[in-house]
Amino acid sequence: MRLAVFETGPADGPPVVLLHGIGHWTQAAWDVLAPHLAGYRAIAIDLPGFGDSAKPDAPYDLPFFARVVAELADAMGLERFALAGNSLGGMIAAEVAGEHPKRVAALLLIAPAGFLRTPGLVVRIFGLAPLMQRLSLRPPRRLVRRVVQLAVSDPSVLSEAVLERAYELSGDPQISRAFGRVYWNHRSAVFDMRALHARFARYAGPVAILWGTRDNYLPIAGLQRARLVYPAASVTVLEGCGHLPQVERPTVVAAELRAIYPAGGGAAEGA
């Protein structure tokens, strides 16, 4: 499988693998944060099915994504590394950490999926997911922009390039298929959270959780369950922040990473 991999920072810096959320891609998810990661070897991927990575006819379930991340780490020679994930990426990061607890040096969860079952999520699983797997028409530009803007509390933080790229990607039927299968094939995980969280809890290393109070996609109510899974985690509640803290509050996100996974100096640029 071909993966789009983006890397910045010193080659000998402590590695951190960055995992974006559903429908996102590396530049939109992490370019704002990247300049604040000086000293780290930051490695971001477009998840399979999204961005510039391959879009195979795959299940796009949690084991699939976790296996891809683990195999990527093997391919890049990462014996021990930190994981930072936003939304779906946070859920994947938690799964990888639970499966490989000795390899994950720290876990940064940014508004992670997997800790809240909402009526909206149920609708997307049973209503929209089967439809999206067959969708071939590009959605209206205005709708795409609105969906992206709802991810933040202040739309001005989103560049026009990000909004245009979102619209461009929305016309790819393979991405629609991946989008639909993510929801559909996460049914068991969403509806058996006890088993899901038991797997997550196998990781006992350093954890930091950040969540915005104005998250329109994964409400901060999920933080309560996340705290039960990771009782020793450092928790940061971001007042007035939306679903993308790494875009809206990059200095805070970077500081939380450094607190659980220190790095030296160096320079970093956009991914």
Q: What is the pLDDT of residues 58-79, one digit of tens each?
A: 999 999 999 999 999 999 999 9
Residue 267 domain-assigned (yes or no):
no
Residue 270 domain-assigned (yes or no):
no
Question: Average pLDDT of the chain?
Answer: 90
Residue 236 domain-assigned (yes or no):
yes
Residue 269 domain-assigned (yes or no):
no
**Predicted pLDDT at 117:** 74
User: Which residues fall within 8 angstroms of residue 82, CB to CB, at 6 or more apart?
Assistant: 14, 15, 16, 17, 104, 105, 106, 107, 108, 257, 260, 261
Q: Output the pTM of the full model.
A: 0.91
State how many domains the chain has: 1
Cβ proximity of 209 and 230 under 8 Å:
yes
User: Domain range for residue 210?
Assistant: 5-260
Percentage of the residues of the chain whose pLDDT score is greater than 70: 90
Residue 41 domain-assigned (yes or no):
yes
Q: Span 13-23, mean pLDDT?
A: 96
Distance of alpha carbon 238 from the chain centroid: 17
Percentage of the residues of the chain whose pLDDT score is greater than 90: 76
Residue 174 domain-assigned (yes or no):
yes
**Predicted pLDDT at 171:** 86
pLDDT digits (tens, 9 = 90+) for 80-129: 999 999 999 999 999 999 999 999 999 999 999 999 876 565 545 445 55
pLDDT at residue 197 above 60?
A: yes
Tokens of 195: 């088993």
CATH of the domain at 94: 3.40.50.1820
pLDDT at residue 267 above 60?
A: no
**Predicted pLDDT at 127:** 54
**Predicted pLDDT at 120:** 62
**Predicted pLDDT at 176:** 85
pLDDT digits (tens, 9 = 90+) for 165-195: 999 998 898 988 888 888 777 777 777 889 9
Residue 247 domain-assigned (yes or no):
yes
Residue 198 domain-assigned (yes or no):
yes
Report the alpha-carbon distance of residue 65 to residue 68 in Å, rounded: 5
pLDDT at residue 156 above 70?
A: yes
* Environment class of 119 (CB within 10 Å of its CB; exposed 0-12, middle 13-18, buried 19+): exposed
Residue 105: its H or E element = strand 104-112
